[in-house]
Amino acid sequence: MAGLSFDVLRTGKKYRLTNFGESHDFVIEQILSNGDFKVKDLHTLERYHLKELITYGKGKDFLLEDLN
């Protein structure tokens, strides 16, 4: 499936993650040393770690894309 990989994510950029039928738009606030990212949801302004969105694995519809 086409899309971005986690190693190309950059601080301050906006992304959309689709997984198991749910879509999340967020901005990367901080890159953590353990390979995780601190993100802020663009709609709810909630802050969370990116790995929370893939806790249950990657579904068939998994797609990470850049928002311009």
**Domain boundaries defined on the chain:** 6-67
6-67 under CATH 2.30.30, yes or no: yes
Phi, psi (deg, nearest 5) at residue 12: 90, -10
Backbone φ and ψ for 35, nearest 5 degrees, come out as 90, 0
pLDDT at residue 25 in the model: 98
pLDDT tens digits, the chain, 68 residues: what are they? 568 999 999 999 999 999 999 999 999 999 999 999 999 999 999 999 999 999 999 999 999 999 98
pLDDT (0 to 100) of residue 37:
97
Is this prediction's pTM over 0.75?
A: yes
Distance CA 39, CA 68 (A): 17
Q: Could you give phi then psi for residue 40, rounded to 5 degrees?
A: -125, 125
